[in-house]
Structure 1
Amino acid sequence: MFRLLKDATVYSPEYLGKKDILLCFDKVALIEDNVNPAGFKDIEIVNCDGKIIFPGFIDLHVHITGGGGEGGFTTRTEEAQAEDILKYGITTVVGVLGADGVTRNMPNLYAKARQLELEGLSTYIYTGSYQVPVITLTGSVQSDMVFVDKVIGVGEICLADSRAFEPSFDEISRIAAQTRNGAIISGKAGLVHFHLGQGESAMEYMFRLSNETLIPKQHILPTHVNRTKGLFNRALEYLKQGGNIDLTAGFIPSGSDPECVATYDALKTIIDNDLDFSGVTISSDAYGSVPTFDENGNVVSSETVNCKILFDEVRTAIKDRGIPVETAISIITKNAAERLKIDNKKGTLQVGKDADCVICDSGLNIVNVISKGKMY
C-alpha cells in the first residue's frame, strides 16, 4: 500500500532539498522533511540517501506504433515497448502517426496506447497523421477530441517537407479551429502538433495563425524547430511573441548535417537571450524514421532512435552546458504537462498527483523509475 522514499534530494522540478516522499498506491501522499514510517502498515522503505528524485518524464512525441516506410516496406520501424520507454525515466507518452497513415492508422494507434497503458505507462495520442484532410477515428476532429478519451490534439501535420500533403493556410486554420472547438467542449489541451520540414516556409504558418486568426497560441505546437539554424531562429522569434515550441532530441550537428541545432545548445541560446522557458519542451520522436533523401527525393538511408535520447540530452544540458537542473528538467516534466493540460496530475511532485518519479544517482544516471506507484 505504502512506499516511502527516504532521504532523497528532490526536484519538483523546483529544488525542494532533502525530503521524504510517501507514496500511497498510485499517488503522492506526503512530501516532508521527515516521515516516520512507524505509523503506516504495509510499508516499503526505499533508502534514497545520496539519490536525486525528479518527476516522471513526459515525451510528447513518440511513434508508438513504429514509423518509417518512406523507402518501402523494408524501412518500416518496430513498435515501441513499454519496458524500453520506462527504463529511460519516461512515464507518460503521447503517441503520434507520421508519414505512414495507411498501414499505421488511428485504430492501431489507439490500441497501442491502450496496451502501453496496461503495461505501466500513462498514454495519450494525437488524431491524424501527416495527411490533410485529417483522417480521424470518429469522422471529425471535434468528435475525436470530445468522445475519444486519449485524444488530446491533432498531428503531426506535415509542413514544408517533401512528404507534406501541401495544405493551404485555409485548411490549416480550419483544422486549428476544429481542434480549438473540440478542446473547449472536452476540456482538453487541443494541440495542433506540426511537423516542420526544412522548407523556408515551415514557421510561417505559425505566425499567420497568430496574426490572422483568433485561435490562441496555446493550441499551436510546432516540433523539429531545431532542424536547421534558420528554422530555429524563426522559432525564437515565435517564442518571443508568446508561442510554444518543441525541440527534437537527436539533432546533432555533423559533417553530413551541419545546419541542425542540438537541443542542449538550443536551450543555452534560449537562456542567454533571456527568453521564456515555460514555452519550451523537448520530445524524442522515438521509433519513427530518420530518412536521408538524395536530390531526387529517394531514400538513401533510414535510421531510428529510442526514448533514451530525451534524458541524455537534458543531462548534457545540465552537466556540459551549465543549465540549472530545475530549468532543464522542467522542459520534460512541468512544461510538457502544462502543454498537454495534464498538470493537475503530472509534471510536478506534489501531494495528490500521480506517483511518477525518476530516481537518479549523483551523476544523473537513472537508478529506478516509479510509474503510477509501481517501481521498475
Structure 2
Amino acid sequence: MILLKNVELYTPRPLGLKDVLVAGEQIVAIQERIDPGTLLPEVQVIQGQGRWLLPGFIDTHLHLTGGGGEGGPHTRTPEIMLSDLTMAGVTTVVGCLGTDGFTRTMGNLLAKAQALTHEGITAFAWTGSYQVPPRTLMDSIEEDLLYLAPVIGVGEIALADHRSSQPSLEALKKLTASARVGGMLSGKAGVVNIHLGDTPGGLEMLQQVARDAAIPLSQFLPTHQNRSEQVFEEALTYGKSGGWMDFTTSTVPQFLEAGEVAAHEALAKALDAGIPIERLSFSSDAQGSLPAFDHQGNLTGLAVGKASSLLQSVQDAVTAAGVSFPTALQAITSTPASHLKLAGKGRIGVGMAADLVLVEPGSLLVDTVIARGQVMVAEGKPVKRGTFED
C-alpha cells in the first residue's frame, strides 16, 4: 500500500489538496485526510506537500523496438528502455512499427510490449506497419485483435508520404473495415493509426473512407498532423469535421525551421479553432528516427524521438501558448485513454489504475512515478530499471 499525502490533485480536473491511497494496482481512496495510523503498518507514505499529482502519461505512438533504417541498417534506432519512459512520467504505451516492417517484426514488437509490462508499466501495440496490406502476426487484422491481448488497433499505416506503400482508397476501406470488425469482436478500440507524410491529401482520403463506408472518423488516429503548415491547415479542417487530431512532440530545430508546427502551438491553435480537447492529443514518436531528406529524396540527417518531449510539450502549451494546465494535461492522459478504450487509464479516481506522477509545480519536473502500484521513480531518480539497463 502507498499513501500520498497532501498532494495538489489533477485528475486531470483540479480537485485541490487530497490524500490518495493505493493498494495493489488500484487507487482505493481519495480523501481530504487519510490517517496512516489507521492502515496496515507496512504502508509506504509519500509526502507530497507543494507538489502536483497527475495521472500517468499515455504515449500512443512510439517505437518500442526502435525505428529508422531509412539510411541503411546502421541507421536503425535502438530499443527503448524502461527508465526512458518512467523518467518521463509515461506509464502506458502503444508501440508501433514504421517504415521498416521487415527487420522489425510483429513478433519482436509484441515480445517487447510483454517485456515492458513485466517490468512494471502497461504496454500495448498496433499491428502492422507502414505497408498495406499490413504484415500481421496471425492471418488477419481481426485475428490479431481477437487473440493477441496487447494489440488494440492497426498502424502506423503511412499515407501521403514517399515511404508509403501508396494504398488505394479501396484497400484503405477494407483495412479500416477489418479493424472496426476486429475491434467490435474483441471489445477493443480497433482504431487505425495513420502516419501522415508531407504531401497533402492524406486526411481527405480518411474522410472519403468515412463517407463511402459509413465508418465514423473516430476509427482513425492520424498522427504527425503538425508536420507542416500545409498539413496542419488540412488537419484543422479535418478536426472541425469531427476527426481526432494528434500532434507529434519529438522534433529538431531543422524541422521547425522548415515549417513544422510545434506541438504546443498546434494544440493552442486547434483549441482556438473550436476543436475540443477530447479530440486532441500528443504522442512522442519516441525511438523513431527523425529523418531529413533533400529535394531528391536523399537522407541528409537523422535524430531520435524522445518520450520526455510529451511533458515538455504540455509545459510549453501552458507557458508559451496560454493553454490551461488541466486542458493541456488531457492531451497525454484522458483523451488518449478514452479514444483507445484503455480501461482504468488516463484519470485519477477510486477504482482507476494506480498510475501516478508527482511533479514540481510550474517546472513540472518529475519527482515520483508510480506504475501499476509500484514506485518506479523516486526523488527524480529511477528506482526500478529494465532488465538490461546498467
TM-score, length of structure 1 as denominator length: 0.97
How far 1:211 moved relative to its partner?
1.9
Say if 1:4 and 1:21, in contact at 8 Å, map to a contact too: yes
Q: Deviations over 1:270-315 (max 9, x none)?
A: 2222321110111000101111112222212111122111111111
How far 1:132 moved relative to its partner?
1.1
Q: Give 3-state SS (helix, strand or coil) of 1:193's partner.
A: strand
Question: Which shifted more, 292-301 or 179-188?
Answer: 292-301
Unpaired runs of at least 5, structure 1: none
Partner residue in 2 for 1:23:
22
Alignment-mate amino acid for residue 20 of structure 2: I
Partner residue in 2 for 1:281:
281
Partner residue in 1 for 2:210:
210
Question: Which shifted more, 82-91 or 197-206?
Answer: 197-206
Q: Deviations over 1:120-155 (max 9, x none)?
A: 110000000001111101110011011110110000
Say if 1:251 and 1:261, in contact at 8 Å, map to a contact too: no
Q: Deviations over 1:311-349 (max 9, x none)?
A: 11111111222211110000100001011101x310100
How far 1:188 moved relative to its partner?
0.2
Say if 1:250 and 1:262, in contact at 8 Å, map to a contact too: no
Partner residue in 2 for 1:361:
360
Partner residue in 2 for 1:62:
62
Partner residue in 1 for 2:292:
292
Please give the alpha-carbon distance, in whole angstroms, between the structure 2 residues aligned to 1:270 and 1:198: 19
Alignment-mate amino acid for residue 206 of structure 1: L
Question: Which shifted more, 236-245 or 333-342?
Answer: 236-245
Q: Give 3-state SS (helix, strand or coil) of 2:170's partner.
A: helix
Partner residue in 2 for 1:112:
112
State the Cα RMSD in Å: 1.2
Alignment-mate amino acid for residue 32 of structure 1: Q
Matches within 5 A, 1:10-89: 10-41=9-40, 42-89=42-89
Alignment-mate amino acid for residue 187 of structure 1: G
Partner residue in 1 for 2:131:
131
Say if 1:253 and 1:260, in contact at 8 Å, map to a contact too: no
Partner residue in 1 for 2:8:
9
Please give the alpha-carbon distance, in whole angstroms, between the structure 2 residues aligned to 1:8 and 1:179: 41
Please give the alpha-carbon distance, in whole angstroms, between the structure 1 residues aligned to 2:6 and 2:353: 20
Structure 2 CA distance for partners of 1:256 and 1:147, relative to 1, 3 Å: closer
How far 1:267 moved relative to its partner?
1.4
Q: Give 3-state SS (helix, strand or coil) of 1:203's partner.
A: helix
How far 1:195 moved relative to its partner?
0.3
Please give the alpha-carbon distance, in whole angstroms, between the structure 2 residues aligned to 1:256 and 1:183: 36
TM-score, length of structure 2 as denominator length: 0.94
Please give the alpha-carbon distance, in whole angstroms, between the structure 2 residues aligned to 1:217 and 1:146: 22
How far 1:253 moved relative to its partner?
6.2
Pair 1:102 & 2:102 matched: yes
Say if 1:93 and 1:123, in contact at 8 Å, map to a contact too: yes
How far 1:207 moved relative to its partner?
1.5
Please give the alpha-carbon distance, in whole angstroms, between the structure 2 residues aligned to 1:133 and 1:10: 45
Say if 1:252 and 1:260, in contact at 8 Å, map to a contact too: no
Question: Which shifted more, 252-261 or 214-223?
Answer: 252-261
Q: Deviations over 1:9-32 (max 9, x none)?
A: 000000111000000111101011
- Give the number of aligned pairs: 374
Pair 1:224 & 2:224 matched: yes
Please give the alpha-carbon distance, in whole angstroms, between the structure 2 residues aligned to 1:274 and 1:328: 15
How far 1:256 moved relative to its partner?
7.0
Alignment-mate amino acid for residue 93 of structure 1: V
Pair 1:90 & 2:90 matched: yes
Say if 1:142 and 1:182, in contact at 8 Å, map to a contact too: yes
Q: Deviations over 1:232-279 (max 9, x none)?
A: 111111111111111101346658733110111111112222321110
Please give the alpha-carbon distance, in whole angstroms, between the structure 1 residues aligned to 2:222 and 2:276: 16
Say if 1:94 and 1:125, in contact at 8 Å, map to a contact too: yes
Q: Give 3-state SS (helix, strand or coil) of 1:176's partner.
A: helix
Question: Which shifted more, 124-133 or 36-45?
Answer: 36-45
Alignment-mate amino acid for residue 292 of structure 2: T
Say if 1:106 and 1:137, in contact at 8 Å, map to a contact too: yes
Please give the alpha-carbon distance, in whole angstroms, between the structure 1 residues aligned to 2:28 and 2:81: 30
Say if 1:53 and 1:360, in contact at 8 Å, map to a contact too: yes
Question: Which shifted more, 317-326 or 155-164?
Answer: 317-326
Say if 1:252 and 1:262, in contact at 8 Å, map to a contact too: no
Say if 2:158 and 2:165, in contact at 8 Å, map to a contact too: yes
Say if 2:146 and 2:185, in contact at 8 Å, map to a contact too: yes
Question: Which shifted more, 37-46 or 69-78?
Answer: 37-46
Say if 2:251 and 2:290, in contact at 8 Å, map to a contact too: no
Q: Give 3-state SS (helix, strand or coil) of 1:166's partner.
A: coil
Please give the alpha-carbon distance, in whole angstroms, between the structure 2 residues aligned to 1:156 and 1:271: 25
Structure 2 CA distance for partners of 1:17 and 1:131, relative to 1, 3 Å: same
Please give the alpha-carbon distance, in whole angstroms, between the structure 2 residues aligned to 1:192 and 1:158: 11
How far 1:196 moved relative to its partner?
0.4
Partner residue in 2 for 1:121:
121
